[in-house]
Amino acid sequence: MIVTPFQLARRAQFYYQLAQMTEAGLSLVQALRTVRNQTHVPSLRRGLDAVAIRIGEGDTFGTALARAADWLPPFDIALMAAGEKSGRLPSCFKKLASYYEERAKILRRTLWSLAYPVFLMHLAVLIFPVTALTGLVLQGTVGSFILKKALLLAPFYIGVGVVAYLAQGTRGELVRASLDRVLDLVPVVGGARRCMALSRLTMALEALINAGTDMIQSWSLAAAASGSSIVHSAVRQFPRQLEQGRTPAELVGESRVFPPEFAQQYYSAELSGKIDETLLRLHLYYEEQANSKTRLAVVILGGLVFGAVILAVAWQIVSFWMGYFDQVGQAIGG
């Protein structure tokens, strides 16, 4: 499913409301019905009604979510179910609210950062070649101008649309895996994506472990929440080996997906019993690294697009003067 910053922020607000009401002493059913009455999203209203009905019939919150909340990611369901068992449901609501609020900020910042390079690209397409622009101004060939520009931009929008469509739902697993592998090879961009995946992984893992989720399920769900098919694929091998008595630190150390510093800190945390503190520290570290690399990637992309525009302008100027001197030479020779 393709999500927008607005949808992520709305999900964060949903969890903030549940956290505030349950902390204030309202029962879970009362909190769900209150949020249901306040929301104007039909799908959310139907989902909350179904969960509330299940709870009223005697199901636990976790069971009701598993049976009726197909509109929620597995990560959310597992964290809330664990929070219910451990008696830390309001805290889990806050964790989820912070998680989605952070994702909304990251996505919003990324889109804003990409706005300038995309604007430059469209500006260059509209201006060049200059002959089409002069034809529009001097001869009023509006239809021809629009058609030419649409043909230039069509492959870009068709490509983005096809990738976005294929990346939705389960049919997008192969596409996302292929994109991850290709983008990871791009300098700076690949590093930013890897750091962002590790940042999400550590945040989700810390929340799940603190909520009381068992280690095997925590790793599986946190890997899915990382947003990286490469991390998810690597961690998919963990459950069977963990059931055989191996530790997560051993598996992390053997995997090429996790950087050496990540493996070393996780190993130390396992020995000292300070996994939650270490995961929070790793989350902040990789989040900062991801933000730094993302800003650098956007600057480089903007510079490349700007440089291409400058080269196009220079070529148009050179072409104009070459044509001009050629005409002068022909006139003199004639």
- Tell me, rounded to whole angstroms, the distance of Cα 12 from its chain centroid: 15
Q: What is the pLDDT of residue 8?
A: 92
Element housing 17 (H / E) = helix 5-23
Domain 167-334: which topology? Receptor-associated Protein (1.20.81)
Q: What is the pLDDT of residue 1?
A: 54
The DSSP string of 253-318 is: HH-SSS-HHHHHHHHHHHHHT-HHHHHHHHHHHHHHHHHHHHHHHHHHHHHHHHHHHHHHHHHHHH
Q: What angle do CA 172, 176, 181 make, to 5 degrees?
A: 155
Mean pLDDT of 225-235: 89
Structural Rg of the chain based on CA atoms: 26
CA distance 323 to 334: 16
SS (H, E, C) 151-189: HHHHHHHHHHHHHHHHCCCHHHHHHHHHHHHHHHCCCCH
Q: What is the pLDDT of residue 24?
A: 93
Domain with CATH 1.20.81.30 in the chain: 5-99, 167-334
Which residues are CB-neighbours of 309 under 8 A, at least 6 positions away?
A: 120, 123, 124
* pLDDT tens, position by position, 157-211: 898 887 777 666 555 567 777 777 888 888 888 999 999 999 989 988 998 898 8
With H, G, I as helix, E, B as strand and everything else as coil, classify residue 90.
helix
Band of pLDDT at residue 37, cut at 50, 70 and 90: very high
Say how many residues make up the chain.
Answer: 334
The chain-wide mean pLDDT, for the chain, equals: 86
The predicted model scores a pTM of 0.75
CA distance 234 to 242: 13
Q: What is the pLDDT of residue 64?
A: 92
* pLDDT tens, position by position, 257-309: 999 999 999 999 999 999 999 999 999 999 999 989 988 988 888 788 788 87
Domain 5-99: which topology? Receptor-associated Protein (1.20.81)
CA distance 32 to 89: 13
Pair 16, 93: CB distance under 8 Å: yes
